[in-house]
Amino acid sequence: MSSFGEPIGSSVTAGEPPVADDQLSVPGPEDTRVMRRERMAVLLHSKTFIAGAVILAFWIVCAIFGKLIAPDDPLLTDPIKALQAPSSAHLFGTDTLGRDVLSRVLVGARDILIVAPLATLLGTVLGTVLGLVMGYFRGPTDDVLGRIVDAVLAVPVVIVGLLSLVALGPSTITVIFVIGVVFTPVIARTVRAAVLTEREYEYVAAARLRNERTPYILFGEILPNVLGPVLVEFTVRLGYAIFTIATLSFLGFGIQPPAPDWGLQIYQHYGLISGGYWWPVLFPALAIASLVIGVNLLSDGISQAFER
């Protein structure tokens, strides 16, 4: 952040003297846009960010227009063509029911790209609120909530997810809800740490000296200053969420058949690998990997831009 010279000549005289001329040379509000533009420039010059954005954009296009791009109908079964190796007719081969793997991989982006962001968003919102409350109040509130958060964090995510899905019954809504709740503590901890720094700043004291209500101080004053870490945390968690959903689907508790989900495809075919039928497993696995890597690259790019 550049600092500008100090206008000093604002002479103090009685009455209504004009504002000192020298203040005029200090840049005006258009500078805010310059700052924003600089941050965008950093992002656009970051190879990590660009690479991540390209990969993610590819999958988003697939998720939206998958059915148009796909060479075949991903749900069309054809037992005669079952388990054909990759060829010019079927670039990624076919699965046990004779469905085109390429088409299923392309279309398979849709479910995970709806479920994962929604789940992460839910977790981010809940975690941010919890983190703000814990960091601002500290004391007993922080102690009690902090222990609960620690307890949730101590249990492996997939186990909690599995148990909850068994209890609530697998459905897309449940998956979103469960993953959102499971991610809440991690995000809460990050936000809490940021708030602990922020609450010591005197603008918080100044707000209390105007009789501001606590919710305004939390969401109006402090929240805008912790949005950077929140955004970074969101992108990091998004990567994890994709991974977790794929895992749950693989275990049969995530997205339900016959949806062409990647995790589900692996689940349905991994037993065949030993028989030499690697293609129905490898291509969805690569898809999951590329999406997670893409999101992580994007996340790295964003956090670099905010660190500056």
Partner 1 sequence: MSATAPQPAAVETAPALELRDLEVAYRVRGIWREVLRGVTLSIGRNESYGLVGESGCGKSTAAFAALRYLPRNGRVTRGSILVDGQDLLGMSENEVRELRVKKVSMVYQNPTAALNPSIRIGDQVAEVYALAGAHDGEARQRAHEMLGKVQISDPASVMRRYPHQLSGGMNQRVVIAMALATDPSLLILDEPTTGLDATVEGEVLDLVKMLREEFGTSLLFITHNLGVMAKMCERMGVLYAGRLVEEGPVAEVFARPSHPYTVGLLRCIPRGGVRKDRETLDTIPGFLPQLGADLPACVFTDRCGLAEEICHREEPPFHRVTDGHCSRCHFYDRAQTVPRATPAPPVPREDRRVEPVLEARGLRKTFHQEGNAIHALADVQFALKEGETLGLVGESGSGKTTLARSLIGLSPADEGSVIELDGARLAPNVTKRKRDQVRALQIVFQNPDSALNRRFSIHRIIGRALTMLKGERGEQREEHLRQLAHSVRFDVRLIGARPAQLSGGLKQRVAIARAFAGDPRIVVCDEPTSALDVSVQAAILNLLVELQASKKVAYLFISHDLGVVRYLSDRIAVLYLGRVMELGPAEHVFDPPQHPYTEALGSAVPTAEGTERERIRLVGEIPSAASPPSGCVFHTRCPRYIGDICRDEEPALREVEPGHFWRCHYSAEELREVQKTPPPEQPLTAREASEPTGGNLRPSEVDRST
Q: Residue numbers of the site for partner 1 (CB under 8 A)?
A: 1-14, 16-17, 19-20, 22-29, 31-32, 35, 201-203, 205-206, 208-212, 221, 224-225
CB of 27 to partner 1, least distance (A): 6
By C-beta, is 154 or 209 nearer to partner 1? 209
Residue 308 identity: R
By C-beta, is 8 or 68 nearer to partner 1? 8
CB of 23 to partner 1, least distance (A): 4
Spatial neighbors of 275 by CB under 8 A, at least 6 apart, are: none
By C-beta, is 14 or 80 nearer to partner 1? 14
Measured CA to CA, the distance from residue 243 to residue 249 in angstroms comes to 10
Q: What stretch of H or E contains 292?
A: helix 279-307
Measured CA to CA, the distance from residue 183 to residue 237 in angstroms comes to 8
Q: What stretch of H or E contains 45?
A: helix 30-45
Longest Cα–Cα distance of the chain, Å, equals: 97
By C-beta, is 156 or 220 nearer to partner 1? 220
Q: What stretch of H or E contains 174?
A: helix 172-198
By C-beta, is 210 or 276 nearer to partner 1? 210
CB of 37 to partner 1, least distance (A): 13
By C-beta, is 25 or 274 nearer to partner 1? 25
Q: How far apart are the first and last CA of the chain?
A: 9
Place of tokens 């039928």: 277
Tell me, what DSSP letter sits at residue 155?
A: S
CB of 28 to partner 1, least distance (A): 6
Measured CA to CA, the distance from residue 156 to residue 158 in angstroms comes to 6
Neighbours of 20 (CB within 10 A): 12
By C-beta, is 77 or 304 nearer to partner 1? 304
By C-beta, is 10 or 172 nearer to partner 1? 10
Measured CA to CA, the distance from residue 222 to residue 258 in angstroms comes to 46
The angle formed by the CA atoms of residues 137, 142 and 148, to the nearest 5 degrees, is: 150
Measured CA to CA, the distance from residue 301 to residue 48 in angstroms comes to 6
180: which 2 tokens? 């959102």
